[in-house]
Structure 1
Amino acid sequence: MTTTGEPTADRTPGHRPAPHGAEPGGPGPGHPEPERELLPTATGARTRAAVRELLRPHRPLAAGAFSVLAGATAAGLLTAPLLGRVVDSVAEGRPVDALTLPVLLLAAVAVAQGAATALGVGLVARLGEGVLATLRERFVERALRLPLEQVERAGSGDLTSRVTGDVSTVAEAVRGALPELARSVLTIGLTLVGLAVLDWRFLLAALLAVPIQLHTVRWYVRRAVPLYAEQRVAVGAQQQQLLDTIGGARTVRAFRLAEQHTERVTRRSRAAVELALRGIRLLTGFYGRLNLAEYVGLAAVLATGFVLVRADSVSVGTATAAALYFHSLFGPINVALALVDDALLATASLSRLVGVAELPLPHEPRRPALPADASIKVAGVHHAYQPGHPVLRDVDLAVTPGERVALVGASGAGKTTLAKLIAGIHTPSAGTVSLGGVDLADLGPAAVRRTVVLVTQEVHVFAGPLADDLRLARPDATDEDLRTALDRVGALDWARALPDGLDTVVGEGAHRLTVTQAQQLALARLVLADPPVAILDEATAEAGSAGARVLETAAARALEGRTGLVVAHRLTQAATADRVVVMEAGRIVESGSHAELVAAGGRYAALWEAWADEHSDGEDGAGEDGGGEEQAGGKPS
């Protein structure tokens, strides 16, 4: 388990608060917007292969569903001949009794067709939902294991648009378009067979519409496929910009950049709207061409019927049945061709989902090594999020088992980056990071998650019972284990006071926890996960004064018995640590105990003096709004 909290939007490399004069999450003035490396999109061949693979376990259900739909469609085709028989009976002056049997048969056909159609559509929907569920699970599994660096390069908007918009598009196609398309294709095929049975010349006349329809589809597909792919990317960029702007709202307001961000949101939204309007114009032309095909086909069938009846080759009833057959094709053909639009949208979305779902899982060593102890060693580490812009330079750090080390320094010094490298979230550009004497690459992602836990300054409270939220860290934990963990971080009293105790539903739309309570929840998860190494990245920075003091005590108790690395926003945490490591401009410039460094009169002593002066009025914590250097929009570490 690598994280029990989430980095804030303005602390990850893809969402850095900008220095004065630059836009958070974007380039500075006069600089072009950075190109994002979007998550992969599967090719058409790979998408089709993935669909076949997903369908393989459901082949019996697929065969049954389409068999039932075929039966329903065949029953429906009896309607036209029966109506033709009624026309012949009237034309030949037969008695009224001659109409009884055809009318009864028409009623029976309607009932049988309705029942079979309902059953077939239900089976097709079940098939689609099963396949979609498997794809969604595979997508989520891969998405959760994506390297954070890859997500940051793509921008969280890309992943968000796939999780929300693309999944919804495919789901709507599965629930609505897939059953309708299956029915339409079967109806078209069997109706053409029915026309041939009546007279092969009716079939030839009907086929005059096919070249126009095929040309229409080809014309539409050539333009629609790239358009919809571009539209999905534009929607992802729009969501990314909204996330950047809203996530960095405090920094945007602090630097008075609201107008610039509003303009950027408007520009991205306008691009998405323009692409949507292009799609509507394309669809209008598509339907206009289909109407032309209907006119040509129906006129040909009526003319053929007139000629054949005049030549006594067929009866009036047969010609009527042929016209009814072709007229009955209007709906299915239009539905099938109109569903090309939905199919293209769904295919574009499906390709984006498959592109992520087919990503290889993180490499796990065949025989992962085991850490010998809870030590940390960083040797010659350099790191840069962008080439030519190093964040860490030649960093060496050794932490002994059970030692608690505080990382301090100005914003942008590299503290958080170093913490993420040790937690295995990022891979250093150069140098090595070891846990228990084993390089992270030799441990493998699973072993790293068991060995080190990172708790950040902003945590997510999942919607659901409090007990379930805690069990994310240890699914087999008993209620007593949960209470013990809460008690250790000082949260048991307020947890017991909740309306339903551990069963109280918390999170969005339910009981809202305070900032301090949410952070205690993350620390309780840390206790439950019980890793030998724990990293707290400014885990008390978001709380107010009183809350910060509570969290400092909770953090200290959560770190008992394990190696601790604390990225200290509040220097009172550094003062109680076994050792203080001071970072500046990506380097370690001082290391020693609090007393030693204060006596040395160096960089740490200056930081401590400034801290002491700022809080000389008796407040040893940040303001109620969690104030600090990050609020000023300073560059993250």
Structure 2
Amino acid sequence: MALRRVVAALEPSPGRVLGAVAAGSAALGSAVALAAVSAWLISRAAEHPPVLDLSVAVVAVRALGISRGTFRYVERLASHDVALRGVVRLRERLYERLAWADRAVVSGLRSGELLSRVGADVDLVADVVVRGLLPFAVAAVVCTATITLLAWVLPVAATVVGVALVLALVAAPRLAAVGAGRYERAADGTRAEVSAQVHALLDGATELTVAGRVDERLALLREVDARRGRELDRAARPGAWAAALSALLTGLAVVGALAVGAAATASGRLDGVLLAVVTLTPLALVEVVAPLPAAAVAVVRARGAAERLTALLDAPPAHSAAERPVPTGPQHLRADGVDVGWPGSTPVLRGVTLDLEPGRVVAVVGASGAGKSTLLRTLAGLLEPLRGSVSLDGVALADLDPTALRRTVTLTAEDAHLFATTLRDNLLVARGDATDDQLWAALRLVHLEPWAAALGDGLETVLDPGSVSGGERRRLLLARALLVGSAVVLLDEPAEHLDPVLADRLLRDLVGAARARGVTMVVVTHRLEPLDCVDEVVTIEAAQVTAHSTEGRWTSTSALV
């Protein structure tokens, strides 16, 4: 069962779970006991006994009133502690699986859908512990204790109340679950669609504003959201009927207990004071059984989320089990007859052959959308070639240890992330043991040293990713990649968002640094003027490599831009 498996992946501590159940049972048990003691106290006080006869009950009422709130607070702490710890563990496992999963799994999901799975779906599974499983466990404990109490006072009343409670514990949640399951399936698709539309709107806000299509996208989002709202309203109706049924059954339990209790009192089998206890105690069970329909709905929703998460947790690895260490010594990267593209799609490039000897610097040029970035991902081992092979010193990238491969072949992608933390921490993502001198050297190489020095706290300045310009962001990511110290560096548009003079200087400096360190470099760029300093220029056009220009034979042209 998917839900059971994913809940197990939360790794809930048995001790903490039992503590939450105990605290919740104590809270609701205090509420039931408060009703029973209060009923006895009121009835007994009506007989005007000595005050000392009531003192224990008076103290018990106060104690139960306090313990009810106290135990409820403890239960909230314990249950949310279990859920939040589980969220961390489950997301960690998902991220690890996605990092090394076959790219066909992730590429088959829209970005908004993937966000929905690792976000909302994980929350739903964790939430089922607090709002789904825990209420049923607490209800079972408290209802059993209440029936036991009533059986001691009046067995026939315990039978009547027990029948009503069984129906409230089973029938009402079952009704809510069936209705929720029927319509949640329809709502699942709209949930991912809403997430995808919001992601597209926020991610492409600048482009949509320039194109004047923001209102169009907002209208589409409103339409999808309205459709989702209608589906959720339909899903909520059975839950409302189930809640009504729960209240009705509790009311019938009270009426039934009153009827049999009155008959027992009339026949002398039950003391009149205890009649109030038998009648009012079931009334307190409303608080116990009322959350159960909503708990059943939470379980249904979590089951659907668990099925979607299981598909990610079971994603096949992108690499073979027999992983080999990365060869030592000079790294020779080679692509032979490679077709490049995303899994399951048409190749964007066909028949690519590149011989990247150690220390060689190659530029890749071509029109936007020609497949240059996809080629870099394939050379980095992030995408499997659709045909042909990519090897490092004669060993296919898919057969190498992926962690060691990332340290040997580094890719700076256009969509790499800048974190909302200090400048130092953003750079240390690549190499945690880098010294300040190494950080400043990397910033100097990408022409960011003056900018960083002008910041208020230098390397300790907390960056706001939204306020960093495109050129600054791109060079920060470039500095991060250079800090890794890889033997092969793949750069995707490192000079983008820079003025022509600075862009050309940056490219020449990067090439010079690569030659000085003996690093193999492949750089994708639209800047053609400085390419006279590279060893080879690969031109991509019409889904294939149309030219290999070696050093000294390259002349710039604007025809490719």
Higher mean C-alpha deviation, range 361-370 or range 323-332: 361-370
Q: How does 1:320-469 map to 2 (within 5 A)?
A: 320-357=276-313, 359=315, 362-363=318-319, 365-371=321-327, 373-385=330-342, 389-469=346-426
Unaligned stretches of 5+ residues in structure 1: 1-44, 599-606, 612-628, 630-637
Does 1:86 pair with 2:41? Answer: yes
SS at match of 1:540: coil
Distance 1:578 1:314 in 2: 102
1:608 shift after superposition: 0.9
Kindly provide the amino acid, as one letter, of the partner of residue 399 in structure 1.
L
1:481 shift after superposition: 2.2
Does 1:189 pair with 2:144? Answer: yes
- The 1:116–1:413 alpha-carbon spacing in structure 2 relative to 1, beyond 3 Å, is closer
Percent identity (aligned): 27
Kindly provide the amino acid, as one letter, of the partner of residue 190 in structure 1.
A
C-alpha contact 1:202 1:322 (8 A) present in aligned 2 = yes
Distance 1:182 1:558 in 2: 65
Distance 1:134 1:597 in 2: 53
- The 1:553–1:518 alpha-carbon spacing in structure 2 relative to 1, beyond 3 Å, is farther
- The 1:610–1:582 alpha-carbon spacing in structure 2 relative to 1, beyond 3 Å, is closer
C-alpha contact 1:87 1:316 (8 A) present in aligned 2 = no
- The 1:465–1:113 alpha-carbon spacing in structure 2 relative to 1, beyond 3 Å, is same
Distance 1:53 1:582 in 2: 49
1:221 shift after superposition: 1.0
Partner in structure 1 of residue 557 of structure 2 = 608
C-alpha contact 1:421 1:427 (8 A) present in aligned 2 = yes
Does 1:106 pair with 2:61? Answer: yes
2:112 aligns with one of 140, 157, 164: 157
Does 1:588 pair with 2:545? Answer: yes
SS at match of 1:390: coil
2:493 aligns with one of 538, 544, 553: 538
- The 1:282–1:552 alpha-carbon spacing in structure 2 relative to 1, beyond 3 Å, is farther
1:60 aligns with one of 7, 11, 15: 15
Kindly provide the amino acid, as one letter, of the partner of residue 290 in structure 1.
S
SS at match of 2:381: coil
Query: How many residue pairs end up in the alignment?
Result: 557
- The 1:226–1:454 alpha-carbon spacing in structure 2 relative to 1, beyond 3 Å, is farther
1:69 shift after superposition: 4.7
1:219 shift after superposition: 2.3
C-alpha contact 2:169 2:292 (8 A) present in aligned 1 = no
Distance 2:61 2:213 in 1: 70
1:132 aligns with one of 62, 87, 90: 87
2:479 aligns with one of 524, 545, 552: 524
Distance 1:573 1:584 in 2: 20
Distance 2:8 2:356 in 1: 51
Distance 1:540 1:223 in 2: 56
C-alpha contact 1:298 1:327 (8 A) present in aligned 2 = yes
1:490 shift after superposition: 2.4
**1:424-451 per-position Cα deviation (integer Å, ceiling 9, x unaligned):** 1211111101123221112132232122
1:280 shift after superposition: 3.1
Distance 1:575 1:261 in 2: 45
Partner in structure 2 of residue 200 of structure 1 = 155
Distance 1:557 1:323 in 2: 90
Kindly provide the amino acid, as one letter, of the partner of residue 608 in structure 1.
T
Distance 1:251 1:100 in 2: 75
C-alpha contact 1:404 1:564 (8 A) present in aligned 2 = yes
1:206 shift after superposition: 1.3
Does 1:241 pair with 2:197? Answer: yes
C-alpha contact 1:185 1:336 (8 A) present in aligned 2 = no
**1:330-367 per-position Cα deviation (integer Å, ceiling 9, x unaligned):** 11100233333334334444554454345455545445
C-alpha contact 1:458 1:542 (8 A) present in aligned 2 = no
C-alpha contact 2:105 2:315 (8 A) present in aligned 1 = no
Partner in structure 1 of residue 461 of structure 2 = 504
Give the TM-score normalised by structure 2: 0.88
- The 1:254–1:491 alpha-carbon spacing in structure 2 relative to 1, beyond 3 Å, is closer
- The 1:348–1:461 alpha-carbon spacing in structure 2 relative to 1, beyond 3 Å, is same
1:524 shift after superposition: 1.2
- The 1:559–1:455 alpha-carbon spacing in structure 2 relative to 1, beyond 3 Å, is farther
1:273 aligns with one of 210, 229, 233: 229
- CA RMSD for the aligned pairs? 3.1
1:113 shift after superposition: 4.8
Higher mean C-alpha deviation, range 145-154 or range 455-464: 145-154
SS at match of 1:377: strand
Partner in structure 2 of residue 222 of structure 1 = 178
C-alpha contact 1:88 1:315 (8 A) present in aligned 2 = no
1:530 shift after superposition: 0.9
Partner in structure 2 of residue 290 of structure 1 = 246
1:578 shift after superposition: 1.1
Unaligned stretches of 5+ residues in structure 2: none
- The 1:81–1:535 alpha-carbon spacing in structure 2 relative to 1, beyond 3 Å, is closer
Higher RCO (C-alpha under 8 Å, 6+ residues apart) = 1
* Bigger proportion of residues as helix: 2
**1:154-213 per-position Cα deviation (integer Å, ceiling 9, x unaligned):** 111111112333344455555677766654443223222222222221122113423366
SS at match of 2:480: helix
1:242 shift after superposition: 3.1
Distance 1:277 1:441 in 2: 48
Partner in structure 1 of residue 266 of structure 2 = 310
Distance 2:458 2:129 in 1: 41
Partner in structure 2 of residue 484 of structure 1 = 441
C-alpha contact 1:523 1:554 (8 A) present in aligned 2 = no
Partner in structure 1 of residue 428 of structure 2 = 471
Kindly provide the amino acid, as one letter, of the partner of residue 447 in structure 1.
A
Kindly provide the amino acid, as one letter, of the partner of residue 526 in structure 2.
H
Distance 1:129 1:93 in 2: 53
